[in-house]
């Protein structure tokens, strides 16, 4: 897990500044009066989860990434199917995402203390920061105050980069999200080279536009 850290940190910082809810005024002290122990509560659940699943850090950062690429970081990926909601979880790009039960556990723990206060999108941001820091990466102040969407955008999940896409297609998706080619290389290549879970079609040193291939099912 520690090898994910730099890419994860960059990713979280980037999405905080670029892909956060565009109209929201985020602040590191957003919950200081309404839920002052939010970070320690998230930390407690996440640390427990790591005992049971050493890959939980990778899973949660990926959920955060997939959430943020569809209408910004609005927690919509957490919504299950319901009347009027076609969940994003069930869309092709998200079928192999995992870790939702841990987010549910964090949400439950927070609801017990500060009901109706902390958004799931902020939970993902806080959990990601904790997991990066606790696994040897840098630390930073998480900007908070994201609002969760009440609707899912399943069709919008096509904005999530796919492993069959070539460099031009991936670059376009990152541009659509307000990110540039440096972000693409820093986030995608580093994290996947580090984790050795997916062989993208290019690396930081050799750029080709052949489609990406998966090396781990
Ligand atoms: C070029 C864009 C990207 C593509 C095409 C891509 C594709 C994939 C694929 C196909 C997997 C394997 C899923 C499976 O096991 O079935 C994966 C895993 C993963 N991706 Fe990406 N990804 C991209 C960018 C990112 C970014 C920006 C992050 C976060 C910084 C990220 C984080 C992860 C993590 C942590 C895993 C491992 C999840 C686990 O072990 O459960 N990916 N990715």
| Residue bearing the CA closest to ligand 1, atom 13 | 96
Residue keyed to tokens 């690429």: 69
CA 148 – CA 164 distance, rounded (Å): 30
pLDDT tens by residue, 114-139 = 999 999 999 999 999 998 888 777 78
Nearest residue (by CA) to ligand 1, atom 25, is: 188
Tokens linked to 17: 């500044």
61 lines ligand 1 (CB under 6 A): yes
User: How high does pLDDT run on average in the chain?
Assistant: 84
Confidence label for 178 from pLDDT (cuts 50, 70 and 90): very high
* % of the chain with per-residue pLDDT over 70: 76
Domain layout of the chain by residue ranges: 2-159, 161-217
pTM for the full predicted model:
0.85
Enter the tokens of residue 54.
Answer: 């050493």
The CATH number for 2-159, chosen from 1.10.520.10, 3.30.70.1150, 3.30.1330.40, 3.30.70.1520, is: 1.10.520.10
pLDDT(206) > 80: no
């Amino acid at each position: 897990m520690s090898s994910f850290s730099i890419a994860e940190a960059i990713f979280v910082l980037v999405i905080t500044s670029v892909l956060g809810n565009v109209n929201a005024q985020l602040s590191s002290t957003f919950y200081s009066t309404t839920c002052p122990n939010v970070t320690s509560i998230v930390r407690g659940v996440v640390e427990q989860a790591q005992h049971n699943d050493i890959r939980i850090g990778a899973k949660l950062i990926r959920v955060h990434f997939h959430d943020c690429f569809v209408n910004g970081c609005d927690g919509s990926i957490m919504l299950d199917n319901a009347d009027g909601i076609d969940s994003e979880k069930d869309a092709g790009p998200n079928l192999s995402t995992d870790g939702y039960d841990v987010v549910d556990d964090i949400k439950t723990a927070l609801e017990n203390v500060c009901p109706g206060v902390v958004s799931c999108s902020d939970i993902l941001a806080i959990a990601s920061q904790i997991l990066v820091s606790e696994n040897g990466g840098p630390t930073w102040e998480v900007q908070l105050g994201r609002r969760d969407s009440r609707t899912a955008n399943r069709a919008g999940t096509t904005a999530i980069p796919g492993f069959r896409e070539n460099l031009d297609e991936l670059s376009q998706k990152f541009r659509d999200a307000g990110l540039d080619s440096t972000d693409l290389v820093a986030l995608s290549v580093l994290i996947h080279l580090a984790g050795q879970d997916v062989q993208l079609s290019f690396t930081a040193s050799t750029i080709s536009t052949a489609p990406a291939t998966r090396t781990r099912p």
